[in-house]
């Protein structure tokens, strides 16, 4: 969410940013919110004037009564009463205008970074860099569900009976591999100086609207019926939410956190075969990284975060690339974002396995997160988040890139300690 003072002073910049995001339907909102803000400031000024006048007149009433000037005192009382009525009406108007301004400000997109390529949707995202050589072996790479079934490692039919489409049972070596990857990701981030968390898996609506846009919330979040609680779509939600209405000491920055959680998402829409199985699902587990930092340090942290994910995947010999998200593909709160994509030998293309985002001060403003600074004045920190790993989707890339011609799957050295020392797993079918 932008600062209303910035919108008031820079309406043309805000409108141009909206055009870059191809959201022209929001252009009238800029003038509308500026007018509403003007009315709100006028109402506040009027209330301050009336309060001052009322206090002055109230002091005069006693003096007039003491001088025996009853008629003048009664007239003064009448004025005070009229002022009180007008102030009460203005108080209601202030509340209404404040709500209208906030409602609009929540949907005006954040100002994107100058380095973000302008494009309408994800088809216009731009490849940044490749890491590792993508290989297509001279033997067939089966569909990922078939690979898992060869290890007797997945049961989608039972999951459909218990929970419906978009759910799964993992078992045996595949389930163990899933857990091993998460354990390795946890230790990988701890070794890089991040503090490990297991956060709440449900959050209140005030946190939801603080960390994401309404469009994202509608398309992603599951609401707990009858309660002010939502299942998290990612642990970023509860991790940033933990700072709500907090005044941080500057010496406490940066906050570098890594969190494990299950994640729950609606994943609305129909998807092709490659996005079925365990690619696009309603429930999965993830290791996330979150940073709260000084504004001038956020772009440095942005680059450190996505590099952590690249290093993690490359440590398991999985080729990856980074893809710069264009303006039209950025969620409204984001200043800059890139996807990390893993190589699929089966599809002979890359697919998304993680996303790194710099949200500037948008989440901090929404949630009331501030940093204390006596010399320069208190300020809003910047927040960032990035996926370390999100199995079971990541399992697709892992299995395809480590599958051998004989059907075994090699276990890279960093994972072996979490797999009982195994160097490979053997198919059962």
Residues (pLDDT < 50) of the chain are: 270-271, 274-275
Neighbour count for residue 106 (Cβ, 10 Å): 17
Q: In angstroms, rounded to a whole number, what is the distance separating the alpha carbons of residues 83 and 203? A: 43
Contacts of 178 (CB under 8 A, 6+ apart): 170, 285, 391, 392, 395
Name the pairing type of β-strands 409-410 and 283-293: unpaired
**Domains of the chain with CATH codes:** 4-105 (1.10.287.40), 122-425 (3.30.930.10)
Model confidence over 238-271: pLDDT tens digits?
999 999 999 999 999 999 999 999 999 987 554 4
Distances, alpha carbon 218 to alpha carbons 2, 29, 37, 268, 384, in Å: 21, 21, 27, 10, 22
pLDDT of residue 20: 97
pLDDT of residue 269: 52
Burial of 156 (0-12, 13-18, 19+ CB in 10 A): middle
Q: In angstroms, rounded to a whole number, what is the distance separating the alpha carbons of residues 131 and 134? A: 9
Burial of 422 (0-12, 13-18, 19+ CB in 10 A): middle
Start-to-end CA span in the chain (Å): 54
Contacts of 270 (CB under 8 A, 6+ apart): none
Q: In angstroms, rounded to a whole number, what is the distance separating the alpha carbons of residues 397 and 346? A: 9
Alpha-carbon Rg for the chain in angstroms: 28
pLDDT of residue 270: 47
pLDDT of residue 76: 78
pLDDT of residue 276: 64
């Amino acid at each position: 969410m932008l600062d209303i003072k910035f919108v008031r002073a820079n309406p043309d910049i805000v409108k141009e940013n909206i055009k870059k995001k191809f959201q022209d339907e929001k252009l009238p909102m800029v003038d509308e919110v500026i007018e509403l803000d003007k009315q709100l400031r006028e109402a506040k000024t009027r209330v301050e004037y009336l309060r001052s006048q009322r206090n002055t007149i109230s002091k005069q009433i006693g003096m007039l009564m003491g001088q025996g000037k009853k008629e003048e005192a009664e007239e003064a009382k009448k004025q005070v009463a009229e002022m009180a009525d007008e102030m009460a009406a203005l108080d209601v108007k202030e509340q209404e205008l404040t709500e209208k301004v906030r409602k609009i400000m929540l949907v005006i997109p954040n100002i994107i970074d100058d380095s973000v390529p302008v494009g309408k949707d994800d088809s216009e995202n731009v490849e940044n860099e490749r890491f590792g050589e993508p290989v297509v072996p001279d033997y067939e790479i089966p569909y990922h569900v078939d690979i898992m079934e060869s290890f007797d490692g997945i049961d989608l039919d039972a999951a459909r009976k218990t929970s419906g489409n978009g759910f799964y049972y993992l078992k045996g070596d595949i389930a163990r591999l899933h857990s091993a990857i998460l354990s390795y990701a946890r230790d990988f981030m701890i070794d890089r100086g991040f503090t490990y968390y297991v956060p709440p898996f449900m959050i209140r609506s005030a946190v939801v609207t603080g960390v994401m846009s309404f469009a994202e919330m509608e398309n992603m979040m599951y609401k707990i019926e009858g309660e002010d609680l939502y299942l998290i779509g990612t642990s970023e939600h509860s991790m940033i939410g933990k700072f709500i209405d907090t005044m941080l000491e500057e010496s406490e920055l940066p906050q570098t956190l890594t969190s494990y959680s299950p994640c729950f998402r609606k994943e609305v829409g129909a998807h092709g075969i490659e996005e079925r199985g365990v690619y696009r699902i309603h429930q999965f587990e993830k290791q996330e990284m979150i940073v709260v930092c000084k504004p001038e340090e956020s772009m440095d942290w942005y680059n450190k975060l996505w590099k952590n994910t690249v290093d993690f995947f490359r440590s398991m010999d999985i080729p990856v690339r980074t893809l710069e998200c264009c303006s039209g593909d950025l969620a409204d709160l984001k200043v800059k974002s890139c996807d990390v994509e893993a190589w699929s030998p089966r599809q002979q293309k890359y697919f998304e396995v993680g996303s790194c985002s710099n949200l500037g001060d948008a989440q901090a403003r929404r949630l009331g997160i501030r940093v204390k600074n006596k010399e320069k004045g208190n300020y809003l920190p910047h927040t960032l988040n990035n996926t370390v790993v999100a199995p079971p989707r990541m399992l697709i890339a892992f299995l395809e890139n480590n599958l051998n011609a004989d059907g075994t799957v090699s276990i890279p050295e960093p994972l072996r300690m979490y797999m009982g020392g195994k160097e490979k797993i053997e198919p059962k079918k």
